[in-house]
Structure 1
Amino acid sequence: MNMTKLRASLRVSGFVAAVVAVTACTPMTRFNGFAPAARELAQVQIGQTTRADVVTLFGAPTSDGGMRSDTIYYVASQFDRIGPFAPKEVDRTVIAVRFDSAERVRNVTRYTLQDGRIVQLDRRVTDDGIEDIGVLEQLLGSFGRIDAGSFLGAEGGGF
């Protein structure tokens, strides 16, 4: 009787392990950002559409080109992650909309990963001054600052 229970539990355990192994290897896809599709970009007329029109049509850009204020960018990326491995970028689209001095569209360019071009975007990251420390470092760092009186609940910090 015990041998049949053992075999049954081994079968269930094997089935659970197989299901976990298969689901762990299933790719998970994550999408970031927004880049207008070609049919949406067809609404933009070179020399006629203004910067305000582009922002109205597509929303706020991902970046405004930093020092080059004549260009705005829309960026969309797709990442696949399989099991415990780091995510891998499998698709990226960058739409660069350039404007002339009158704030009218001068050029619209689409870049993808296959183009192999690096498009430097303005990140404008401000350092918050807070160091990234782990929980263990926080516990060890505060270990010497414990006041015995407040720890034991005594008033006035003494006994």
Structure 2
Amino acid sequence: MMRLAKAVRLVAMGIALISLTACTTVYRNHGYAPSDLDLEKVVVGESTRQDVARAVGRPSSIGVLADSGWYYVGSRFKHFAWKAPEEVERQVVAVSFDQDGVVENVERFGLEDGEVIVLSRRVTDSSIKGLSFLRQLLGNIGNFSAEQFADG
């Protein structure tokens, strides 16, 4: 009788422990946005496309207008129990080139409350190219389903 009660207690504690660990929040990173330390190797007005590729790697997206810019996109998703994944952070690093393939602008964009926020900018002039592309890219928050991120 005493052994049965002890066995039941152990099984109950095991089930409780498994239940608690199943509800742990897991964060997953998707994509790649280079750090500021990596971007220090890119010199505005001097670095070329090849220099950028060596310093921070090839981009995940390229501008459609005459190959004008490279875009690095990194997102962080929060997975909790049975709930759908929630995007908690997104950063886009945009590197713009002039017609000779020399870096013209380096910008980092974030996402706060569904709006595009400029986190840092190194520019040679004040014209910002490709902002509508970034707005579209960052505006996709919430348009994902759990099936797209399930490990298969």
Residue in 1 that maps onto 2:37: 39
Query: Which of the pair is proportionally richer in strand?
Result: 2
Residue 24 of structure 1 deviates from its aligned partner by 1.1
- Structure 2 residues without counterparts, runs of 5 or longer: 117-132, 138-152
Deviation at 1:5, TM superposition (A): 3.8
Q: Are residues 1:56 and 2:57 paired?
A: no
| Structure 1 Cα separation of the partners of residues 38 and 56 of structure 2 | 8
Give me the whole-angstrom Cα distance separating, in 2, the residues matched to 1:48 and 1:107: 11
For 2:96 and 2:6, locate their aligned partners in 1 and report how far apart those are by CA, in whole Å: 67
Give 5+ residue unaligned stretches, structure 1.
Answer: 122-159
Q: TM-score if structure 1 supplies the norm length?
A: 0.68
Name whichever structure is richer in helix by fraction.
Answer: 1
1:93-104 paired onto structure 2 within 5 Å: 93-104=91-102
Deviates more, 1:84-93 or 1:100-109: 84-93
1:105 alignment counterpart: 103
Identity of aligned residues (%): 39
State the alpha-carbon separation in 2 of the partners of residues 35 and 68 from structure 1: 22
CA distance in 2, matches of 1:33, 1:114: 18
1:114, CA displacement in angstroms?
A: 2.4
Candidates 4, 22, 32, aligned match of 1:24 = 22
Q: Which has the larger radius of gyration?
A: 1
Task: Report the Cα distance in structure 2 between the residues aligned to 1:86 and 1:42, rounded to whole angstroms.
Answer: 37
- TM-score normalized by structure 2? 0.70
- Aligned residue identity for 1:20: I
1:7 corresponds to 2:8:
no
Q: CA RMSD in A?
A: 1.8
- 1:39 is displaced (CA, Å) by 1.6
Give the counterpart of 1:79 among 73, 77, 80.
77
Choose 78-87 or 60-69, whichever is displaced more.
Answer: 60-69
**Is the CA contact (8 Å cut-off) linking 2:69 and 2:94 kept in structure 1?**
yes
**What SS is found at the alignment partner of 1:91?**
strand
Shift in Å, 1:96: 0.4
- Alpha-carbon spacing, 1:64–1:88, altered in 2? closer, same or farther (3 Å): same
Give the C-alpha shift of residue 68 in structure 1: 5.2
Per the TM alignment, residue 15 of structure 1 is displaced from its structure 2 partner at its CA by: 0.5
Q: Residues 67, 58 of structure 1: CA spacing in aligned structure 2 closer, same or farther, 3 A cutoff?
A: same
Rounded to whole Å, the distance in 2 between the matches of 1:105 and 1:114 is 27
What letter is aligned with 1:75? V
Q: Residues 141-152 of structure 1: matches in 2 within 5 Å?
A: none
How far apart, in 1, do the equivalents of 2:72 and 2:81 lie? 30
How many residues end up aligned between the 2 structures? 119
2: distance between equivalents of 1:9 and 1:68? 71
Paired residue secondary structure (1:113): strand
